[in-house]
Amino acid sequence: MAAKNNYFKQNIDKFGEQFVSLVTPEQIQGQVKRIIKELVKGEIEFEKYGKYFLDLKLIDNLIIGIRSELDDYSLYSAAVTFYRMHYPNTPNITIRENHLQTLCYIYQVILHKLELVRETQNIGYLSDTSALLYNYRNHLK
C-alpha cells in the first residue's frame, strides 16, 4: 500500500495535478533521495502516479539527480575501498564499504529502469523496483 504522503501526493496537494510544470528542476533533483526511498519501499502507486514518470521534465531531472548521487556514492566507495586496503584494521570500515557499494547498486538499478522508461515511455519497467530492491531498504535514510 502506498504511503499517504509520498512525493507525488504531497506535491499534488500543494500545487495540483500539474505540479511538475510548477516545480523547478532543482526542486526535483533535490528530492531524488526521497523518491528513490519511496520507490524501493513500494510507497508509490504506479496506477495513480505512474503518469508523472512519463513527464520529460520529471524523468530527465530524476535521471540527472540520480547520476549525480551515483557519482558521489561511487567516489566515496572507491575512497573507502582504497582506505580499507591501506588501513584494514579500521573498525567498521568493511561495513561502510559494503553500505556504499549497496547504495551504488540501488542507484544503478533505478537509473537503468528510469532510462528504459524515458526511452520507451513504458512505466512497466518500474513496476518490480520495490520487489527487486526491497531487501536493501534499510540502506536508505
Q: Tell me the mean pLDDT per 10 residues along the chain, length 141.
A: 77 95 97 96 93 97 98 97 94 95 97 97 94 90 79
Residue 2: inside a domain: no
Q: How far apart are CA 23 and CA 77, in angstroms?
A: 32
Looking at residue 140, its pLDDT comes to 87
DSSP state, residue 50: G
Residue 35: inside a domain: yes
Strand locations in the chain, DSSP E?
A: none
Q: How far apart are CA 53 and CA 102, in angstroms?
A: 24
Residue 67: inside a domain: yes
Residue 94: inside a domain: yes
Residues 79, 131: contact at Cβ < 8 Å? no
Domains contained in the chain, number = 1
**The domain containing residue 32 runs over which residues?**
7-139
